[in-house]
Chains A and B, each alone.
Chain A
């Protein structure tokens, strides 16, 4: 293919070579899963190819591909958010009635004791933590990790996933409620 020596021209033949790593890196820090990130990169390339006539040459090829990937990440988030039979976090509070918003008796936080501090240096604890994070519903896990592991600013997460700030905090709240209970059940009750 004899392309003109123009700055912003698409060269799909070079995409994998030039952008696979950049796009994968962008995706993995957001979805935290190798296979999903890989699929998103592939979908981005294929969408880019299909829509290459829409490329106006105003942005660089890289910027253009990343903007497609961003769309794919939002789509992915919406999919895990609306998946049929999706897991939800069971709230440990009364959901209605006079006691609405109070702890359910069976979910009241138990005493962890002073051992908590001592036990911070423990490989087993890391395993429990990993298991408990893994057990979070996908949506909650994704948002929780963006905030807690990748340290994204709240505003950025809201923009990237197209959710509201209150939405974000509800998800983090639910994730941390479940996480706390999971750590209690699997670590402190042993």
Chain B
């Protein structure tokens, strides 16, 4: 019989559809006997649901501001100049 640590690890993998058949059997067997891990599994499903609902991808709207690009441009220019003077 697997431990609660192992069972919850499989439950986590399962949230991404990546638990193997054997792992799922082991998990289900463990869940029949362990109410704490049953609670964990149910809560895990719930957490996945709220993650899907609320974990919006803020990255897609995050951009470099023009001023940041200017700064970048200037820093790069200094280095380009150093380089050409040294060579």
Q: What is the interface of chain A, defined by CB distance below 8 A to chain B?
A: 12-13, 15-17, 20-21, 24-25, 28-29, 32, 34, 37-38, 41-42, 45-46, 49, 91, 93, 100-103, 108-112, 116-117, 120, 125-126, 129-130, 133, 147-150, 154, 169-170, 172-173, 176-177, 179-180, 183-184
Q: Is the interface of A mostly helix, strand, loop or mixed?
A: helix
Interface residues of B in 1-60 (CB under 8 A from A): 3-6, 8-9, 12-13, 15-16, 18, 36, 39-40, 43-44, 46-47, 49-51, 53-55, 57, 59-60
Inter-chain contacts of B68 with A (CB < 8 A): 38
Q: Is the interface of B mostly helix, strand, loop or mixed?
A: helix
> Contacts A109-B40, A111-B39, A169-B12 known; A16 to B72 CB distance under 8 Å?
yes
> Contacts A15-B76, A129-B55 known; A93 to B4 CB distance under 8 Å?
yes
Say which residue of B47, B51, B75 sits within 8 Å of A42 (CB atoms).
Answer: B75
Inter-chain contacts of B62 with A (CB < 8 A): 28, 34, 37
Closest A residue by C-beta to B75:
A42
A2 vs B51: C-alpha distance in the bound complex, in angstroms? 53
A170 vs B13: C-alpha distance in the bound complex, in angstroms? 10
Q: What is the interface of chain B, defined by CB distance below 8 A to chain A?
A: 3-6, 8-9, 12-13, 15-16, 18, 36, 39-40, 43-44, 46-47, 49-51, 53-55, 57, 59-60, 62-64, 68-69, 72-73, 75-77, 79-80, 83
Inter-chain contacts of B72 with A (CB < 8 A): 16, 20, 38, 41-42, 45
